[in-house]
Amino acid sequence: MRYDAVVFDLDGTLVDSAPDMARAINGVLATRGRRALSLAEVISFIGSGARILVQRSLRATGGIEGEDDALAEFLRRYETGVDHETAVYTGVMEMLGALRAAGLPMALCTNKPEAPARDLSARLGLGGFFPVIVGGDTLPVLKPDPAPLHHAITGLSADPARTLYVGDSETDYKTARAAQVDFAFVEGGYQSRPIPDFAPTHRLARPALVGDLVLSGVVTR
């Protein structure tokens, strides 16, 4: 096998979590007399961590004053319902099971804060696959800084040169490039705009195909 370890992004890669994030941020906006955001708008704001999601949402609806209070409220609202509408993408559980059966260590590296990332993973049955979970507040920096991905790889005692990072966004792509780690881009996630100078190591039509790529090197779309 080309890879000895696999690190995954979470939102838009393994799970569709945008509806619950939209519910939480629209609750924050409602308490401030702001308009609700569409799901498409919220998706376009996801990927750079909770604070940036809140900043973008406030800016789109009238201004970012009260950002710290809005962030705290967003996290409270989100953490009370991380799995109300969030769902694991089709085939992901089977794919993770196949990788685990083959003995490949796996980790999560997400810009979602670590506590809700762990909670959501546990509620959806994903937690047992990931002995290492690196969130957006695990370190002082977030993706696309390479430090979170390097931290996840170190936690697995893996070799970066034989590790695959799997994600759905420009942030994930830039993280992998900065970390000098091979990158598999999963289509159909939360990346809504073309990525400049995009040249991922692999492109996959859906996350379930990661298993085929890693275990056999043959991907059927």
pLDDT tens by residue, 62-83: 999 899 999 999 999 999 989 9
Q: Of the residues 4, 9, 119, 137, which is catalytic?
A: 9
- Look at the alpha carbons of 122, 168, 112, 28 in this order and tell me if their dihedral is positive or negative: negative
What pLDDT shows up at residue 126?
97
Give the helix ranges, DSSP H, for the chain. 18-31, 39-45, 50-60, 67-79, 92-101, 114-123, 147-155, 170-179, 210-215
Kindly state the tokens that stand for 97. 């099971």
Give CA angle at 189 (118, 37), nearest 5°.
85
Per-residue confidence band for 216, with pLDDT thresholds at 50, 70 and 90: confident
For the cut 80, the answer to whether the pLDDT of residue 178 exceeds it is: yes
DSSP-derived letter for residue 189 is: S
Q: Please enumerate, by residue number, every residue annotated as part of a binding site for Mg(2+).
A: 9, 11, 168
Indicate the SS3 state at residue 130: coil
Give yes or no: 9 in active site: yes
pLDDT at position 221 is 56
Residue environment code for 160-175, b if the CB has 16+ CB neighbours within 10 A, otherwise e: beebbbbbbbbbbbbb
Which parts are annotated binding residues? Answer: 9, 11, 168
pLDDT value, residue 137: 96
Mean pLDDT of the chain: 95
Instruction: Domains for the chain: give ranges and CATH numbers.
Output: 5-16+87-215 (3.40.50.1000), 18-79 (1.10.150.240)
Residue 163: both structure tokens together: 């590790």
